[in-house]
A and B are shown apart, each in its own frame.
Chain A
């Protein structure tokens, strides 16, 4: 069976779903951030796959921008986690309830 676009897209979907599960289910904020990185990578796979099978370069350009944003997000997100950890001595997402009524 020849590998085609569908295979890459399904791989992308599987990784995205795994990342989604991790982002929603895990309590450790660092793991949540890691799951989000997996989701972003999954999206990148889809972008690059479209670029490859559509013969247009824009997909890769978008993948680059997603990387940029992911890097920025990782930096700020980890900085936030550390800041919260300093003030609350925990990185448990379920204990972040400042937005609660």
Chain B
């Protein structure tokens, strides 16, 4: 496979961005749909090339394609090379990104129809996809960081797409700033690694870490720094607060962010640098604990949200926590020596990325479903929906499949990858396993709470009568159906084996007790949701009162937003640091400048007394000067 083809995968979306921005937008603005076609064509081409790359990789030795790299920067003796990596991990990610992106763009054709920023939307989407592809393909940290920031920028642009809405502008700023906190750690880690090893190359860094050349506290801190970047991008605790607010963007953007691009970047980064993490027990334990905690922490908030997209957002955070947990659990086993290094590393990546792969499809489907519902009802509040099953059968059907999949019901996609993570957690750290099991129950409950409230019962909305409800247009339904198929079958694909993980047989998976335990828990969750929200055997209201403190805690999102805003931002930054800096600026910086000026003026006030205006005094001074000069000549010659 020629390297130009791989570069084409990366460059096509960028070309699309350039064409839309510089040709279509200025000259063909009266036909905005052209920009949609260009985007779809370029990403479709990328998808085809990605499939080709995947086939090539699966046939290649060691699942790695040799790729040339190029000199990028030469600063003195420092030469920074860039290139692309095409291995199993990259190939899988390419498929995820391009396929989800393509389907989302198709859907957007319908969803964004008539929007004033249609061309801008597709330009940003192209750039977003291209940045993510670059991030996946980059073979060195500096190059990767470039695209990493590109992804952050695009998410800012797209979350704030309707920037005339103050909430959207706020959400965009929040997303950008909070991920930036993590990015700072990532950047520091990159520089730290470069200072210690003199290379940005990921492959070399992995070898150095595995060989033990790179180790000790440097490795630990670098890994934690990189992880902080991943925490920001993948919305892990404690930097998760931006993701639920990111709902202000167009729904297809949410689908893309939650499935294939933005948040996947963090998990991908940990997977890409997995050998570095696994070489430090402390770093990988951090990953596992943060992942496990985030999984259950986010799920609790998902239980009580009334905005359908917020429920989905918390479920995304929770599922990303699963992926981190999977990576962390295997990594801990490797670090402890419980697993052989090579196989263990491959297994960890396989477990984490397999879930990312499956999650991408069912989560984007859920968002597209939410968008479809919104298209019909004009709201995202599930209290104002209900009974949509009859009006929107296709949406209901695909949404149900996705919900079953995320709940981990056999034999849908979610089951297989979640199973893998649970198994690894069980073997490595039982406490995290129990957290994950509780999360399974919660996931099933909150997803089916949404399903029953949205599609079951009678329509409760006031905005328009039930006769106005309609199924979405075909251009939106087709991507949803395609995604629904993928949400069923993606777990059957041998992705895990391809990445070097364990294979599983279709029915053999049901033989173990773990699988049954999680299935029973998921089933219980669904049953409970059915009992409360469909049959109303239990009153949601009385439950809420019974668990009032918990309900308040969850629905107020643990007061983390308030903590960040009131305490960190207002108290520490605005009143503390900024006030101190302001004082420093006023008194020290300005003080020095004003002091010099005032000193000069004061000195002038004194010295000008010498300027008497008396000619004879000046003459006297001249002759004293001559005497001094003569004296000096005598003394020093």
Contact = CB atoms under 8 A, between A and B. Distances in A.
Whether chain A touches chain B in the assembled complex (some CB pair under 8 Å): yes
Nearest to A25: B616
A97 B614 contact: yes
Interface string A20-55: 100111000000100000000000000000000000
A94 B611 contact: no
Chain A, interface size category, equals 10 to 19
Interface string B18-48: 0000000000000000000000000000000
Nearest to A98: B613
Nearest to B623: A20
B613 A93 contact: no
Interface in A72-101: 93-94, 96-101
A89 B611 CA distance: 24
Contact of A100 (B611, B619, B620): B611
A24 B613 contact: no
A41 B609 CA distance: 35
B73 interface: no
B602 to A, nearest CB: 15
Given A23-B616, A24-B616, A93-B616, A99 B623 contact: no
B623 A96 contact: no
B628 to A, nearest CB: 16
Contacts of A25: 616
Contact of A94 (B608, B609, B614, B623): B614
A25 B614 CA distance: 12
A101 B612 CA distance: 7
A24 B614 contact: no
B615 A100 contact: no
A96 B613 contact: yes
Contacts of B620: 24
Nearest to A100: B613
A63 to B, nearest CB: 22
- By CB atoms of chain A within 10 A, which of B608, B613, B619 has the most? B613
Contacts of A99: 611, 613, 615
A30 B609 CA distance: 27
A24 B608 CA distance: 21
Contacts of B615: 93, 96, 99
Contact of B611 (A23, A32, A101): A101
Contacts of B608: 101
B612 A100 contact: yes
Interface in B582-620: 608-609, 611-616, 619-620
Nearest to B617: A24
A4 to B, nearest CB: 24
Nearest to A94: B614
A91 B260 CA distance: 97
B623 to A, nearest CB: 7
Nearest to B613: A100
A100 B611 CA distance: 6
A24 to B, nearest CB: 5
B580 to A, nearest CB: 43
A99 B612 CA distance: 8
Nearest to A32: B616
A101 B606 CA distance: 11
B613 A97 contact: yes
A51 B615 CA distance: 34
A96 B618 CA distance: 13
Contacts of B611: 99-101
Contacts of B614: 93-94, 96-97
A30 to B, nearest CB: 14
- By CB atoms of chain B within 10 A, which of A32, A93, A98, A101 has the most? A101
B627 to A, nearest CB: 11
A25 B609 CA distance: 20
A97 B619 contact: no
Contacts of B619: 23-24
A25 B616 CA distance: 8
A80 to B, nearest CB: 11
A15 B612 CA distance: 28
- By CB atoms of chain A within 10 A, which of B611, B615, B623 has the most? B615
Contacts of B609: 101
Contacts of A97: 612-614
A98 B615 CA distance: 10
A49 to B, nearest CB: 21
A34 to B, nearest CB: 14
B606 to A, nearest CB: 11
Contacts of A96: 613-615
A99 B620 CA distance: 16
Contacts of B616: 23-25, 32, 93-94
A100 B608 CA distance: 9
A20 B615 CA distance: 13
A17 to B, nearest CB: 10
Contacts of B612: 97, 100
Contacts of B613: 96-101
Contacts of A98: 613
A94 B608 CA distance: 18
A98 B614 CA distance: 9
B605 to A, nearest CB: 10
A101 B610 CA distance: 9
A39 to B, nearest CB: 11
A23 B622 CA distance: 13
Contacts of A100: 611-613
B630 to A, nearest CB: 13
A99 B617 CA distance: 12
A25 B620 CA distance: 9
A82 B608 CA distance: 30
A97 B623 CA distance: 21
B62 to A, nearest CB: 88
A99 B611 CA distance: 8
Nearest to B616: A24
Nearest to B609: A101
B624 to A, nearest CB: 11
A20 B608 CA distance: 26
Nearest to B620: A24
9 contacts: A20-B623, A23-B616, A24-B619, A24-B620, A93-B616, A94-B616, A96-B613, A98-B613, A99-B613
A-B CB proximity, top 9 nearest: A100-B613, A97-B613, A99-B613, A101-B608, A101-B611, A24-B616, A24-B620, A24-B619, A93-B616
Interface of B: 608-609, 611-616, 619-620, 623
Given A23-B616, A101-B609, 19 more contacts: A20-B623, A23-B619, A24-B620, A24-B623, A25-B616, A32-B616, A93-B615, A93-B616, A94-B614, A96-B614, A97-B612, A97-B614, A99-B611, A99-B615, A100-B611, A100-B612, A100-B613, A101-B608, A101-B613
